[in-house]
Structure 1
């Protein structure tokens, strides 16, 4: 039945008692997406892969699956789920590419059904874009003719095949034409055809695959400095204009298997900036083995091979195999098309592996940064340091509203004017009872820290106990002039928006960082060199996961935050905000269904991640008290403040009825305690589960959420901000100094630690191997080496403070 259905583009469901078999068949490929996932995620069982594909095909979002369908998929970790999602998207792309290639092939081979059927079968078996392009190269599905295709059109395939089969010479003048006017050009055309025929033979392809599978092959990579560098007209990045950033690679030589991911990305950037040139040398034995394999194939059935065939073998290796292998080993599935003059091949590997590591590194760091514990319930002063234009500051309330803005100056602080400005700031902090200052880490940060530290020591802010923390201001300048910044703070001078952003990053990192382009947040490694679409896909996935799992207050959230909730997007988020502005606060989740564009499926995806807190509403009308016809849309529901999905509200009602409670009773601590006590009694729980046919996982999830009612922010268990009252300086550092620092960024080559001296120190990857570190985590480090000229600090890890991420 499955084989018969391959051309029907349908989904087949088979239910046998408790066994659920899911098969997804398409008209383009002869494998299922579940099989594709299973081959690429070996830690999952086949049934888990098929179930994940089923849920994804039903357009369930990753956060929804991770939170509400774990019992269906066998409790898969979120990171593995994200990998499955990316593979599912990759399978869809391959499927679509195969369909397009099949259509092109059918048009090109209308008169040759046998060849067409054979190639179509190969295409439908392809499981990578590279495999698809390899088959396409066999049938010449390209608009511009290669030299091989020109030779074919000139009728040179017949003599080429004759020479391959017999080894005998042919009259070259007999095959001259306008494109091949003499014996030499005809000979070259025949060599091109034979070279490609050799390349496409099964024996040759199998041998190439054997070479590529040799993990211990000594493929040498040399990198040299380009003495006369061409100018980069469009380069605005200072790093791309300074050759010293690539000094480590001016005389670099390593075996490919020993090169780290960050080194591959650095070399690629150096080459693209015209500072470096790269030379890849294959093992000498590879060519000899290649020639032997090809000669044995051509020698079958004849005494010897001809000079033309020997030339074709040489050309096949030098102009096809050597380039293909080098690019395959260095580059990755970037659809890097090589035009070999003969034909095109797409290649991949080391660069792709490095880029996948960079994407994974970016993903981890972004998640850590977004889930930093917020500083709730207090006002914060944000300072954007600067010299000539002064330090801009912004005071925000506990809800993020701007209270006041102003400037103080680092130079000539004893002047009367600046003293008056400082006194004004002090009065403002006292009035707002603000004891927390967030200082940006940009130009002038060290001096600003010293100024605030001196003021604290002199009791300038008395009676307040003021302390400060250092905040990355990466992306704040771009935010201040962006459309998001203008919409967010329309009446505020752009020079103060950066200070507001710095303060809000401490108040609520998640809500603020989603407004910043991830390329500008200063995390990960070489993210500027990654494909925009892939970086955006990872960013959106992490945003959606973090925003959804933290939860969003439906009555106070911004459009920027809301659009990243599972199932929603920019358009639906804006529609929700407009509805709220027009009709007032949402009273329950069901009101979302009144909004155009939000149907049952979208509601199902998003509602569990949206919160409505009954205690914050202007009027508390309990369920069942409204006389209006649409009362179900007006009643307050205490469960809407939890992560419990409305699809399980009926189960909650049964549990509450069993305990003689109502939903609104959950607003009282005594009622919640009663539910928790019931949940701790395993005998009661098992009996209830059996009587009402409720699985234990769902029951435990419900009770856990009721226990955390009103206090379920997952960020409370994550790293928070580190506040200090004094400051270190670079000049005061010495080898052996032991300091407390904060991890700012993590890459494959190590971790950057802010030790409060204006320059982040480096913990080498060898020093932290096997030790999990996270963004904003506190660590105790000692100074190993100081490079005063280059302003670089090498650190050794002494102790890590507990991180619960």
Structure 2
């Protein structure tokens, strides 16, 4: 297999792009480093493409290794033919290789192996050959009777031979291909409720069927969960008669022969007992894998804009983690995120200490000159919002509030990171700090939380956790390196996502900073324990030193390009002169353009280009809503069937996929992403069920 050629075809790239990318990966370079600092070699491939190419490269390498392994194993048995070798080497999936290897795989003791031990393999081959003349079969069968081996009757001999034939048919890759093709085109997934009178979220699946070709990924995941919770029974329904007819037409080449009835029985037994159960498992597994892969992609797409939300800089923030019985935890942070003060107030049920709570909040607001209040969107969020909105009308200060997604705040509160940051604080107070800091710098705060707990996916706990973690860690890594990290203020949680830096090296950086004081230039990195020249190359360009002794250290210019950057500094660069300068300095045009961009806007934060959050001063209740009302909202989550939008009331509204655009939409991700500010029209309000239907059509 020519892996480079295959990747070139699949990704529609040029050979040099694929070859260079593979070489860069094999040399130990990280994806963020390759994407940012090796653009000439890759032809400016984006980090997302590089990660997909990396994943596919690993699959194809595993495929090639398995091809060689299976060829070796079959060759050791002395059963490898030129045709079989060719079939294995031309296999494009691991499933196909395993199908071809199936007849040669060491087996546990089966009905067929027992029949072979009784010496009935020859009889099975005679039946399959279909060359028995009329009236000869009885005599042939009698030759295989053997009391010592337990073959006492002709019926026993024929049954044993049929068991062998059934296994031969089951192990034949071409028959499995036929069944797989029919199943994928005509198969149906059928579900029914275990207790149909029982109310549950799975009621639509109590009597449900859908074609395998059309079933949506989110429905597959819902059905899987319902089955796991023992609420649903799930069956695969295939056109059995068509499948059997197809296999019989391939196996039975002589309709008039008296072996036909035994071959037909063998085929039916093979399909029912051996092929269908394994095929059902395979198809269900493939459906789940397909659905999981799409869910992971959507999760990753949602996570990126959430992490890349613009920071709210230079503002003193009050974070509120709402609750009922245990009270609302309050924390005040200065514009750097440093904790200034904290308390607990009880304005909600059952205490209802509204006036007392307002007074305490006002005291903190004026004492620390709070600019913005961040309210978590969990339990008691809207009740707390109403109290805060009412309080804002009572004070003479330019102050606003915002609802912040608090998913994962409780995970952070109880985590080792949270304990290390605030060892003397109650767990719940840490949650309020996290909510406030998420507004000040979403990326720096959210990296402290396992990405899958951030709450922008669907069925995340049902997905393959290894694949999910790998995908989400990649997204976080790309975001952190796109933004860059302040070397003198970054937490270990943030530093460990920087290209080339391990958790151990991140901790060493913190210890060096605590011992020696602030870093003054990037060269000091080489003095940190465990950070050698190779790691320096990978990480240096992503680490910023805003107040260092070299202004280039506060840019994304890599130290390897400092000589060129210094030649450019102070020059009036003509954009039309890039090609000439590129040749003069001996550097690629893409790298040169990046250097010029950095020199024009040193310390640029790419998040500033993202949609700004919506700040509010008054509360909107569900009862205030009317059909056809036009509102501005923030996209909170994107799923297969639509997008959930915060429009300022207790319940997020849903824009169904059919109402995202006037044109056909294959997936909501084509139209919206998390964090987008959108104009929506209210279609329907169901106060009893707490549901709001929205539309972006004709707004």
What is the TM-score of this pair, normalised by structure 2?
A: 0.90
Distance 1:113 1:254 in 2: 46
- Distance 1:409-1:176 versus aligned 2 partners, 3 A rule: farther
Determine the structure 2 residue equivalent to 1:456. Answer: 392
- CA drift at 1:436: 0.3
- Cα offset, 1:178, TM superposition: 7.0
Identify the residue that residue 633 of structure 1 maps to in structure 2: none
Q: CA 1:178/1:565 → structure 2, altered by over 3 Å: closer, same or farther? A: farther
| Residues 418 and 179 of structure 1: CA distance in aligned 2, closer, same or farther (over 3 Å) | farther
Distance 1:122 1:295 in 2: 21
Flag the 1:186–1:589 CA change in 2: closer, same or farther, 3 A.
farther
Residue of structure 2 equivalent to 1:739: 631
Q: Kindly state the Cα deviation for residue 393 of structure 1 after the two structures are TM-superposed.
A: 0.7
Q: Which residue of 2 aligns with 1:713?
A: 605
Shift in Å at residue 351 of structure 1? 2.5
What is residue 192 of structure 2 aligned with on the other side?
224
Per the TM alignment, residue 450 of structure 1 is displaced from its structure 2 partner at its CA by 0.4
2:345 aligns to what?
Answer: 408
Write the mapping of 1:317-716 to structure 2, written as runs, cut at 5 A.
Answer: 317-332=271-286, 350-411=287-348, 419-459=355-395, 462=396, 464-613=397-546, 615=547, 617=548, 636-656=549-569, 674-675=570-571, 677-680=572-575, 682-683=576-577, 685-710=578-603, 712-716=604-608
Change in CA separation of 1:457 and 1:116 when aligned onto 2, cut-off 3 Å: same
Shifted more, 168-177 versus 315-324: the winner is 168-177
For the pair 1:263 / 2:219, whether they are aligned, the reply is: yes
Quote the offset at 1:37 in angstroms: 2.6
Counterpart selection for 1:158 from 102, 115, 122: 122
Q: Is the 8 A contact 1:196 1:316 kept in 2?
A: yes
2:621 counterpart residue number: 729
The 1:735/1:376 distance shift into structure 2, 3 A limit, reads same
Asked if the contact 2:40/2:588 (under 8 Å) is kept, the reply is no
Q: Which runs of 5+ in 2 are unaligned?
A: none
Deviation at 1:356, TM superposition (A): 1.5
- Once the two structures are superposed, residues 610-636 of structure 1 have per-residue CA deviations (whole angstroms, 9 ceiling, x without a partner) of 1112x2x5xxxxxxxxxxxxxxxxxx3
Contact 2:375 2:381 in 1 (8 A): yes
> Any idea what the Cα deviations from partners look like across 1:750-796, whole Å, max 9, x if unmatched?
00111222111110011115462121222222222233333222111
Task: Pick which of 778-787 and 203-212 moved more.
Answer: 203-212
Contact preservation (8 Å) 1:413, 1:419: no
8 Å contact kept, 2:292–2:464: no
Q: Report the CA distance shift for 1:404/1:177 in structure 2 as closer, same or farther (over 3 A).
A: farther
1:798 Cα offset (Å): 5.3
Cα distance in 1, alignment partners of residues 266 and 350 from structure 2? 79
Deviations 1:11-61 (A, max 9, x none): xxxxxxxxxxxxxxxxxxxx24324433543x3234433332222222221
Q: Flag the 1:187–1:246 CA change in 2: closer, same or farther, 3 A.
A: same
C-alpha separation in 1, matches of 2:151 and 2:88: 33
Question: Post-superposition shift, 1:522?
Answer: 1.5
- How many Å apart are 1:418 and its aligned residue? 5.8
Shift of 1:732: 3.1
Instruction: State how far apart, in whole Å, the 2-side matches of 1:283 and 1:557 are.
Output: 60
Equivalent-residue separation in structure 1 for 2:300 and 2:39 (angstroms): 22
Judge which range, 755-764 or 531-540, deviates more.
755-764
1:314 matched to 2:268? The reply is yes
- State the secondary structure of the residue aligned to 1:644: coil
Secondary structure, in 3 states, of the residue corresponding to 1:719? coil
CA distance in 2, matches of 1:252, 1:202: 32
Deviations 1:438-472 (A, max 9, x none): 1011111111010011111122xx2x211111111
Give secondary structure in 2 for the equivalent of 1:113: coil
3-state SS of 2:685 partner: strand
Residue 622 of structure 1 corresponds to none
Preserved contact between residue 248 and residue 267 of structure 2 (Cα < 8 Å): no
The count of residues paired between Structure 1 and Structure 2 equals: 685
CA-CA distance at 1:173 after TM superposition: 6.1
- The whole-number CA distance in structure 1 between the counterparts of 2:83 and 2:532 is 46
Change in 2 beyond 3 A, CA 1:655/1:271: same
Separation of aligned partners in 1, 2:327 and 2:611: 32
Aligned alpha-carbon RMSD (Å): 2.9
Offset from partner CA, 1:380-400 (integer Å, 9 cap, x none): 111011111111111111111
The answer as to 2:97 corresponding to 1:132 is yes
- Cα separation, 2, equivalents of 1:605 and 1:789: 56
Is the 2:321–2:435 Cα contact (8 Å) retained in structure 1? yes
Using the TM superposition, give the Cα deviation of residue 404 of structure 1 relative to its aligned residue in structure 2, in angstroms.
Answer: 0.7
Is this contact kept in 1: 2:99–2:171, CA < 8 A? no
Task: Provide closer, same or farther for how the CA distance between residues 371 and 245 of structure 1 changes in structure 2, counting only shifts above 3 A.
Answer: same
Q: CA deviation at 1:375?
A: 0.5
The 1-side partners of 2:698 and 2:312 are apart by: 25
Q: Is the 8 A contact 2:39 2:590 kept in 1?
A: no
CA distance in structure 2 between the aligned counterparts of 1:612 and 1:280, rounded to whole angstroms: 60
Q: Give distance in 1, aligned partners of 2:240 and 2:586.
A: 69
Partners in 1 of 2:451 and 2:150 — Cα distance?
53
The verdict on how the C-alpha distance between 1:321 and 1:782 changes in structure 2, with shifts beyond 3 A counting, is same
Q: 1:88 aligns with which of 54, 57, 62?
A: 57
The separation in 2 between residues aligned to 1:397 and 1:99, in whole angstroms, is: 61
397-406 vs 252-261, which deviates more?
Answer: 252-261
Kindly state the Cα deviation for residue 748 of structure 1 after the two structures are TM-superposed: 1.2
Question: How far 1:413 moved relative to its partner?
Answer: 10
Alignment of 1:199-218 (within 5 A): 199-201=170-172, 203-205=174-176, 207-208=178-179, 210-211=181-182, 217-218=185-186
Q: Mark the CA change 1:54 to 1:177 in structure 2 (over 3 Å): closer, same or farther.
A: farther
Report the Cα distance in structure 1 between the residues aligned to 2:126 and 2:639, rounded to whole angstroms: 57
Confirm or deny: 8 A CA contact 2:348 2:384 kept in the other structure. Answer: no
Structure 1 residues 418 and 260, CA, compared in 2 at 3 Å: closer, same or farther? closer
**Quick check: 2:635–2:643 contact (8 Å CA) kept in 1?**
yes
TM-score where L is the length of structure 1? 0.79
Deviations 1:184-235 (A, max 9, x none): 66544422321232344465355346546x7xx3322222111289xxxxxx
User: Once structures 1 and 2 are overlaid, which stretch shifts more, 469-478 or 779-788?
Assistant: 779-788
Deviation at 1:538, TM superposition (A): 0.3
Check 1:197–1:40 CA distance in 2 against 1; reply closer, same or farther (3 A cut). farther
Q: How far did residue 420 of structure 1 move?
A: 4.5
Match of 1:23 in 2: none
